[in-house]
Amino acid sequence: MLLRLDNVDTYYGQIHILQGVSLEVNEGELVCLLGGNASGKSTTLKTIIGMVRPRRGAVQFAGEEVSGRPTSYRIGKGMAIVPENRRLFGPMSVKENLEMGAYLHGGGTKEDFERVYSLFPLLYERRRQLAGTLSGGEQQMAAMGRALMSRPKLLLMDEPSMGLAPILVERNFEIIKEVHESGVAILVVEQNANVSLSIADRGYVLQTGRIVLSGAASSLIKDEDLRKAYLGR
Amino acid sequence: MNWSLFFGELVSGLTLGSIYALIALGYTMVYGILKLLNFAHGDVYMVGAFVGFFVLKWLGGPLAPAVTGWLAVAIMFTVAMLACGALGVGIERFAYRPLRNAPRIAPLISALGVSIFLQNSALLLWGPQFRDYDTFDLVGVKSYHIGTNFFISNVQILTISVSIGLTILLALVISRTRTGKAMRATSFDRDAAEMMGISIDRVISFTFFLGSALAAAGGIMFGLVFGQIFSLMGFTAGLKGFTAAVVGGIGSIPGAVLGGFLIGLTEAFATGYLPGGSVYANLYVFALLIVMFLIRPTGLLGSPVIQKV
Ligand SMILES: Nc1ncnc2c1ncn2[C@@H]1O[C@H](COP(=O)(O)OP(=O)(O)OP(=O)(O)O)[C@@H](O)[C@H]1O
Ligand SMILES: [Mg+2]
């Protein structure tokens, strides 16, 4: 098992956000985490990567308890993230953004750049352009490329299709699939259940900080409760 | 037109501006990353001047330095910059880091506290009296003239060129090195930088190191140019460095340099040309700050708060 959350409780100050969240991602698996607005999806990813610390529960990554470790340690161990809203470094060039993705690997080897550029040829064309001037679709590619620069074992993605035109959403998921097929485990957070379940192995549904549903993607996609989970809020 | 007065003020403005630019760089870098006005910065500059002074003393003093005058100056710069770099890192570690998540007023007050602490420590340890750099004896000040009206001394050339050299070096560090890029990333979006695996603490320490080292260089330049230093020299210089950073656009590196030279030139030309200038030059300098606040609060090269993508 690559990632395991065991009964995680995360708070923002006094507010109890994640309540006993348990989930797993196996090596090479593509798992999606679904949930409506403010259900705690981003908080789950932040807990995994160490931007917030859980008050109780365990976060295990690659066979090690990491809940007391800083974010940089977890990135070094093989996590990478495409954060919500991409969070590119706007005043820096596309190439520099990619370098920051490989910060713990000396800024990236030639092979790292080649790998990312072959996945996103457009990024090569735009490499000298400031990231802040890219279009939405291009920014999504840059954010994904940046995360892949570190050769992660586990790629976390927070609503990668947010704000993209429908045609780009589809293209985006094709790329996610491609990355997954190259052997990277992926945990993707989405509000759009249909598209993400269609490519995922398994899925979890989060509702007000609790996992209310989980299972194989193929069965979730048919699940009546899933629709309820969304309509419920 | 009295050209020799004009060129005299020009050169002295550029010399002063070199010093202010170095101070302003530290202000602007720290602000860029922490959004903190590090009011102790001027006092780090003062400590730099004193470290330089004691290194000179240790080398045998300006009258009989153990090495040639210019080498002594180089050693003074090196030691003071390293020592103040370390001091800056220590100040951040103990006075600002514990307050990183506190309301923004808290580190500001802490900065004022550090400033008062450094000033009073200096008064206690080194007294209120002037200390002599004796630049004349140390390096043998020479004046070169071009034509009949343009004069510049070797110390002024040194000050201006070291300042420009350090600025270029800093620009290279920030634009080319991995740590420099991490500084830019951190100042744009600290959380995103952290999510890349960048250690924010280390980036902030490095920023304080660079800024404080530059301030120390400025302090020594002041000693060389004016021949004397004193415990409270950091106060006005800090204010002017701050003014320079704001006028140039706080957070902007080229802005700090531009602002520094602008303040230096304003001060020099006010001294030479404006009514009561020799007494009230500072008044004109700070008036510039107020005018800037009124017409362009973001400063000359400051960007209006960028919407984060
Ligand atoms: N820094 C914070 N401080 C306090 N409360 C927060 C903070 N961040 C998020 N919250 C709250 O925690 C809850 C879960 O937020 P979270 O961002 O994890 O939800 P989400 O499922 O990602 O939502 P969205 O679909 O809007 O991205 C929300 O009620 C939100 O208001
Ligand atoms: Mg979210």
Distance CA B263, CA B292 (A): 12
Distance CA B268, CA B12 (A): 6
Residue B67 in any domain: the answer is: yes
In this predicted model, what pLDDT tens digit does every residue of B54-81 receive, in sequence order?
999 999 888 888 888 899 999 999 999 9
Q: How far is B51 from chain A (nearest CA, A)?
A: 36
Nearest to B195 among A76, A81, A99 (CB): A81
From the CB of residue A227, how many other CB atoms can be counted at a distance below 10 Å?
10
CB B9 within 8 A of CB B269: yes
Give residues with Cβ within 8 angstroms of B135, minimum separation 6: B62, B141, B155, B223, B224, B225, B227
Residue B240 in any domain: the answer is: no
Ligand nearest to the CA of A208: 1
Nearest to A72 among B185, B199, B306 (CB): B199
Distance CA B164, CA B170 (A): 10
Contact B199 A51 (CB under 8 A): no
Domain count, chain B: 1
Rg (CA), chain A: 17
Task: Bin A87: left if φ > 0, else alpha if -120 < ψ < 50, else beta.
Answer: left
Measured between CB atoms, does A196 come within 8 Å of chain B? Answer: no
Give residues with Cβ within 8 angstroms of A43, minimum separation 6: A10, A12, A17, A18, A52, A209
From the CB of residue B203, how many other CB atoms can be counted at a distance below 10 Å?
21
Full residue range of the structural domain in which residue B184 is found: 3-232
| DSSP secondary structure string for all residues of B47-88 | HHHHHHHHHHHHTTTTTS-SS-HHHHHHHHHHHHHHHHHHHH
Candidates A91, A71, A98; CA nearest to B200 is A71
B80-103: average pLDDT: 97
From the CB of residue A206, how many other CB atoms can be counted at a distance below 10 Å?
24
Å from CA of A212 to ligand 1 middle:
18
Least confident among A3-17, A131-145, A184-198, B88-102: A184-198
Distance CA B122, CA B8 (A): 33
**Residue A226 has what pLDDT?**
73
Instruction: Tell me whether residue A159 is exposed, middle or buried, using C-beta atoms within 10 angstroms of its C-beta: 0 to 12, 13 to 18, 19 or more.
Output: buried
Contact A89 B192 (CB under 8 A): yes
- What residue spans define the domains of chain A? 3-78+152-231, 88-151
Band of the pLDDT at B308, cuts 50, 70, 90?
very low
Residue of B nearest to A91 (CA): B188
**Residue B100 has what pLDDT?**
93
- Separation of first and last alpha carbons in chain A: 32
**Residue B236 has what pLDDT?**
93
- Name chain B contacts of A150, Cβ cutoff 8 Å: 197
Q: Report which of residues A16 and A170 the model is more confident about.
A: A16
Measured between CB atoms, does B188 come within 8 Å of chain A? Answer: yes
The answer to whether the CB of A41 is under 6 A from ligand 1 is yes
Distance CA B10, CA B3 (A): 10
Q: How far is A107 from chain B (nearest CA, A)?
A: 7
**Whole-prediction pTM value?**
0.93
Residue B216 in any domain: the answer is: yes
Residue B120 in any domain: the answer is: yes
In this predicted model, what pLDDT tens digit does every residue of B119-168 receive, in sequence order?
999 999 999 999 999 888 888 888 998 888 898 999 999 999 999 999 99
Residue of A nearest to B182 (CA): A100
B137: tokens are 């004896």
Residue B171 in any domain: the answer is: yes
- Give the nearest ligand 1 atom to A44 CA: 18
Residue B304 in any domain: the answer is: no
Q: How far is A71 from chain B (nearest CA, A)?
A: 6
| DSSP secondary structure string for all residues of A158-209 | E-TTTT--HHHHHHHHHHHHHHHHTT-EEEEEES-HHHHHHH-SEEEEEETT
User: Rounded to the nearest 5°, which phi and psi values hold at A171?
Assistant: -60, -40
Residue B307 has pLDDT above 70, yes or no: no
Residue B297 in any domain: the answer is: no
B48-56: average pLDDT: 97
User: Rounded to the nearest 5°, which phi and psi values hold at B144?
Assistant: -105, 145
Q: Which CATH number fits domain A3-78+152-231: 3.20.20.70, 3.30.565.10, 3.40.50.300, 3.30.930.10?
A: 3.40.50.300
Give residues with Cβ within 8 angstroms of B191, minimum separation 6: A51, A83, A87
Residue nearest to atom 9 of ligand 1 (CA): A43
**Residue A227 has what pLDDT?**
67
- Separation of first and last alpha carbons in chain B: 53
**Residue B309 has what pLDDT?**
36
Residue carrying structure tokens 């995922």: A200
Band of the pLDDT at A111, cuts 50, 70, 90?
very high
